[in-house]
Amino acid sequence: MSILVSGATRLVVQGITGREGEFHSHAMQAFGTQIVAGVTPGKGGQTALNGSVPVFDTMAEAVREVGANASCIFVPAAAAPDAILEAADAAVALIVCITENIPALDMLRVYHVLRQQGIRLLGPNCPGLTSVAERAKVGIIPNDIHRPGSVGLVSRSGTLTYEVVQAMTDAGIGQSTCVGIGGDPIVGTGFIDVLDMFNEDPETEAMVMIGEIGGEEEERAAAFVKREVRKPMAAFIAGRTAPAGRRMGHAGAIISGGAGTAESKRAALDAAGVAVADSPSHIPQLLRAAGVGG
């Protein structure tokens, strides 16, 4: 078992004929993901990925014709909220939106519409997720940094996630599923959602959480962990040296009105019994100390 994706995931890529969409679709296919369709309005009837995948004009067709049940979105920010809504209307179970710089007010509406429809959205502005054992990846996390194992990882970041995964793999600690929830202020899936899934997932024995400054999601996650989680956990929080009031690359990474500091998040996690690392490279030894094997 794994969370969110598995061998049964039948993926459609929205924006498969674009530069990014095509590049990462090849990588997903190489990793083992079943890509069953692409959608690019106006290019229906063509094929993509060296003729292996049919392209449709609409999500409705992709679902009806080839049974797609998950979508990965690479369309530009101006069109992405509509693409998410189209995927939701077509009733796929999981939507992963990679696109960054989507206006927050657009995401606010999209978030609530999807909640009413009961559809899971990951992102936007996220690297997606990879189920290591099931060889299923939806997104852009590099293929060759993983090692199969029992640690579930959830993060607000992209390359920082790869850094931590690589450090774990180098230390012989494998992963069950790695999930990037995205760096925007409004994202479909939060830390608590993913920690809850890992907590229930028999394949996951320990968890790693990578947070950063801005908002109070890490503090709320810490309260959840204290209440619900009995599996060992390690964490890293980026941005101890970030100045207040500045947006640090990610739209959501900003300390405002004294709230959202790295120290506040570290303290909350520490109080919840989570081992907090000073450097990403310390994560493997913290996991070992908590009794995590290979």
Partner 1 sequence: MKLQEYRSKEILAQYGVPLQAGTTATTPEEAEAIARTIARPVVVKAQVLVGGRGKAGGVKLAETPEEAARHAEAILGMSIKGITVRTVLVAPAANIASEFYLALILDRAAKAITVITSAEGGVEIEKTASTHPEAILRMPLHPLIGLQEHNIRRVAFFLGISPDLRREFRQVLRGLYDAFVGTDADLAEINPLAITEDGRLTALDAKIVLDDSALARHPDLELMRDLNEEERSETAARQAGINFIKLDGSIGCMVNGAGLAMTTMDLVKLAGGEPANFLDIGGGAKADKVAAAFRIILDDPNVKAILINIFGGITRGDEVARGIVEARTTLARHVPMVVRIVGTNAAEAAPILAEANLITADSLDEAAAKAVAAARADA
Q: Which helix (H) or strand (E) holds 113?
A: helix 104-117
State which residue, 8 or 244, has the beta carbon closest to partner 1: 244
State which residue, 86 or 163, has the beta carbon closest to partner 1: 163
Interaction pattern, residues 199-238, with partner 1; x per rule: CB under 8 A: -----------x-xx-xxx--x---------------x-x
Complete DSSP assignment for 248-280 = -SSTT---BTTBS-HHHHHHHHHHTTPEEESSG
Candidate list 42, 202, 227, 241; residue touching partner 1; CB under 8 A: 241
CA distance 218 to 264: 9
Does the footprint of partner 1 cover residue 86 (CB under 8 A)?
no
51 CB-near residues (< 8 Å, 6+ apart): none
Interaction pattern, residues 171-190, with partner 1; x per rule: CB under 8 A: ------------xxxx----
Catalytic residues: 250
Q: Least distance in Å: CB of 36 to partner 1?
A: 24
Candidate list 65, 109, 172, 244; residue touching partner 1; CB under 8 A: 109
Window 270-289: residues binding partner 1 (CB under 8 A): 278-281
State which residue, 96 or 186, has the beta carbon closest to partner 1: 186
CA dihedral 218, 187, 241, 259 (to 10 degrees): -60
Does the footprint of partner 1 cover residue 166 (CB under 8 A)?
yes
Helices vs. strands in the chain: H and E counts, helices first: 9, 14
CA distance 121 to 123: 6
Q: Least distance in Å: CB of 282 to partner 1?
A: 9
- Residue 52 contacts residue 29 (beta carbons within 8 Å): yes
Q: Least distance in Å: CB of 279 to partner 1?
A: 6
Tokens of 280: 């990403």
- Residue 26 contacts residue 33 (beta carbons within 8 Å): no
Interaction pattern, residues 22-51, with partner 1; x per rule: CB under 8 A: -xx---------------------------
Count of positions on this chain that bind partner 1 (CB under 8 A): 62
Q: How far is CA 12 from CA 60, 100, 213, 259, 268, in A?
A: 11, 19, 33, 39, 39
CA distance 102 to 178: 23
Q: Least distance in Å: CB of 225 to partner 1?
A: 17
Q: Which residues contribute to the site for partner 1 (CB under 8 A)?
A: 23-24, 77-78, 100-105, 108-109, 111-113, 140-142, 145, 155-163, 166, 183-186, 210, 212-213, 215-217, 220, 236, 238-243, 246-253, 257-258, 262, 278-281
